[in-house]
Amino acid sequence: MKELPPLFKVLTRPDQVQKIKRRSLLFSAAYSLVLSATSIGNS
């Protein structure tokens, strides 16, 4: 994993990083599901 920018380190505590990763992963999965459902519905 590459080094985080200093600003991100200041704003984020280590215990929050896991939550942020999980949230973004969940968001990505939900977004791709909606996107694929929309594209299937339009075809």
In this predicted structure, what is the pLDDT of residue 40?
A: 86
Give the pLDDT confidence of 1-43 residue by residue, as tens digits.
566 555 555 555 666 667 778 888 899 999 999 999 898 887 6
What pLDDT, on a 0 to 100 scale, did the predictor assign at position 33? 93
Phi, psi of 10 (to 5 degrees): -65, -40
CA distance 37 to 34: 5
Token digits of residue 30: 């939900």
User: Which pLDDT does position 10 carry in this prediction?
Assistant: 56
* Prediction pTM value: 0.52
Cβ–Cβ under 8 Å, residues 21 and 13:
no
- Which value, in Å, is the radius of gyration of the alpha carbons in the chain? 16
The number of residues making up the chain comes to 43
